[in-house]
Structure 1
Amino acid sequence: MFKNRLWVSPMCMYSSKDGFANDFHLMHYGQLAIRGAGAVVVEATGVLPEGRITADCLGIWKDAHIPGLRRFVDYSHNFGTAIGIQLAHAGRKGSSIPLRMYGTRPTLKLDGSEGGWPENVYGPSATAYDDKHWTPKEMTLEQIEDVQQAFVDAANRADKAGFDFVELHGANGYLLHQFYSPLSNLRTDKYGGSFENRIRFLVETTRKVRKALPAEKPLFVRVAGSDCVEGGWDVEDAIKLSKILRDEGVDFIDVMSAGNDPRQKVAYAPSYQVPLAAAIKAAVPDALVGTVGCIDNGKQANGILEEGKADIVSAARKFLRDPSFVFQAAKDLGVFIKWNDQYERSRE
C-alpha cells in the first residue's frame, strides 16, 4: 500500500478556526505528497473541541469537518501518496496558547476571553503538567465513556473523509498517555493504580475504534517508549503494552518518548529514539514498529531499516525544513525514484 518506508509525520500545524481545515492545510500536506513522501500523517486532530491543544488546532468532532479534510486527502491521492490522520485528545495540555502567541507571555494558558476552555480541561487526575498549564479536573467514568465514543466517532469520520489509515495518539503527554503513565494517573478506581488499570483507557479505546473501522482499514497507535523520568513509564512497560495492542488488532506501533513530565531528561542526538523502537521490535517481532527523532538523511534512515531496528521511519522537522527530503534521501542512497511530472525537468 505504501510506496516507501520514509514517512512524514508533521509537527502540529496550528492554523485552524473551529477545527476546520483551510487552504494552508491543502498547501502544507499537498506539497509533501507532490515531493514523494511514502505516507503523510495529519497530526494531533482533536476528537472534541476541548481535546485540542490550542484553539487553532484541526478538529474532527463534527461531520462538517469532513469536506475540508477530504480536499487534501484527495489531493494526496492524486500523487499516489497514502495519507492518514492522528486522532488526539490533549487532556491536561488543552487550552494552551497557539504558536502565534509564543513568547508573548510567561504562561501557556489560554483563557476563555481568548477562545480557550480552562473550565473544561480534564485528565485522569487533577494534576497539572506544570504551573504554565491549567490544572485539570479529574475525569468521571461517564466522561471516560464519552471520550472513548468521541474517538470512535472521529475514526468513522476519518474513514468517510477517505484517509488510508487512522492513528490513535497515545504519546507526547496527551490524554491517552496521561492515563497509562504513573506520573500523571493518580486514580484509585479501575482506571488507575496497577499497570492493567492504567492502560485500560487506551486498550478499551483501541478495541472500540478497531471494531468501528472497516477490517481492511489499518489502525496505528502512537505510544511512549519511555517517560524519560525515573519511576515513570519505561520501555518494559511499552513492550507489554505493545503486545496487548498487537493482540487487539493494531497494525502498527509508532514509538516515541517523553512529553508527559517536565522532569524528563532527554538526550537529543541523531536517532536518539531508535533504541526504544528497536527494543519493542526485538520483543514483539511480529508487530510493525516505527521510529522517529532526529532522522535527517537517507543513509541514516536506511540503516535503521536494514538493521531491523524499525519497519518504518517517520520524520517531521526535517520535512518542514526541506519538503524535498525524499528526493535528497534517494540521491544520498544512489537510487532512482520517480519525480512527479511537473517537477521532472528540474532533476539534475
Structure 2
Amino acid sequence: MSEHTMRAITISGFGGPEVLTAQRIGRPEPLPTEVLVRVHAAGINPVDWKTRAGQGMAGLQTLPLILGWDVSGVVEEVGFGVTTLAPGDEVYGMPWFPRAAGAYAEFVTAPSRQFARKPASIGHTEAAALPLAALTAWQALVDTADVQPGQRVLVHAGAGGVGHLAVQIAKHLGAQVIATAQEPRHAWLKELGADEAIDYTQRRFEEVAGEVDVVLDLIGGHDATNVRSVAVTRRGGLVVSIPSGVSDELAAAAAKAGVRTSPLLVEPDSAALTAIAGLVDSGALHVEVERAFALEDVAEAHRLGEKGRTRGKLVLDVTR
C-alpha cells in the first residue's frame, strides 16, 4: 500500500454502530510543533459511541469524521520546532479533545505537548486505555477536588473505565475510598484499593455510605444519583458531576445543603499524563482492559461498550 495512505474507521453520518466504515484514506502530515504518531492502539470511551450516535461531542464535529481520542503509539515524524519528542519515542495521549483527534486510524497528528512518554512497564494496548479515563479521574480528584489524606471519597460507577482508575488515584492521595458497583466487582475493587464497596442494586448508597468529603459522580441524572449524592456530602464538601454537568436540580439541592458542586470536561494535559505514567510504572495504578478488538471490529466493540457492563476499558489494536 502507498506510504501516503492509511487504514481508518470513518463515519459519514451519525447513527448506530453500522455507520462505522473501514476505509483507506490519506495519511496526515504534521504541521510545525506537531508530531505524526503511528497508532498501535486506540482506547474506546463512552464519548465515542455517544458522538457516533449524534450525542456527546457530535455538535463540535465535522463529517466525515474519524472517531477516537485515546492514542498509544510511536512517533513517526516531528514537525518544525518540536524539541521534546523524537522519531521512535513511545507516546500516549488524548490529543485535541473535544475536537476530533482521529484515533481510530493508523496515524494521527497533534501538538507534541499533548502527548507524554508511554508508561514503560505496560504495552500499547494498556496504555491506550489510560488517557481520557485517567485524565478525567486526575483532573477531578487532584486539580478540582484537591483530595487530601484522610478525606473520604465516594466514587460512583467504580468498576468502569474512569471509576476503577479514580479509586486507585484517590487511594494514592491518601483518601478513604468508597465505590459503588454491583457485588461481583467488589472483591476486585478492594484489590484496587477501595475500602468499601456498595451494591447500588441492593441498597441505596445514601443509607450506608456515611458522610464523605468528595463525591465523584460518573453517573449523573440516572436514578437521580447526582442529586442523591448531596445527602452524603458534608457541609462544604464537593460533588464533581461529570456525565451531565451540574443540573439545576443538583445545584438547588447542593445550595440548600451547603455543598459545593463542579462540572468537569477533561482536557489534554501532558504534565498529568507524565504523573500518571509514573504511578503506573511504580505499581500504584493498574489499568484494566476487558477486551481488545481489531480495528475493523470496532462496531462490535461499540455494541459491547453501549451495554454499560464493561470492567475497565475496551481497546482497538490497530496493529492487527
Per the normalisation by structure 1, the TM-score is: 0.26
Structure with more relative contact order (C-alpha pairs < 8 Å, separation 6 or more): 2
Which has the larger share of helix?
A: 1
Q: Which structure carries more strand by proportion?
A: 2
TM-score, normalised on structure 2? 0.27
